[in-house]
Amino acid sequence: MLIKKETEYAALSLIALTKKGNDDFHDVKMLAKEHQLSETLLAKAFQKLAVAGIVESKVGPGGGFRLMKSPKEISLWDIFEAIQMPN
């Protein structure tokens, strides 16, 4: 099975979130811009990660995404499964 770009973007962005800390929500638009990723594809990935319980989302001012789990609790398989496995 091939790894989709969406999965790659999700993994890269989750690594970036771990470096930023888990107190604040981070905007997908800024994450995409900082790492030169497709904002549309990254937004879709983060929605799937939210459904899987890996990140939580907040709408509105100061909203965005943040990790719901400790980085040590998130495996590459978790990310792969959230993005690529059929529901």
Going along 1-87, which residue ranges are E strands?
Answer: 55-58, 64-67
| Per-residue model confidence as pLDDT tens digits over 40-80 | 999 999 999 999 999 999 998 888 999 998 899 999 999 99
Asked if residue 1 lies in contact with residue 49, where contact means CB atoms within 8 angstroms, the answer is: no
Indicate the SS3 state at residue 58.
strand
Query: Does the predicted model carry a pTM greater than 0.85?
Result: yes
Indicate the SS3 state at residue 79.
helix
* Chain-centre distance for alpha carbon 36: 15
Tokens of 9: 């973007």
Q: What is the pLDDT of residue 23?
A: 77
Rounded to an integer, what distance in angstroms lies between the CA atom of residue 45 and that of residue 16?
Answer: 14
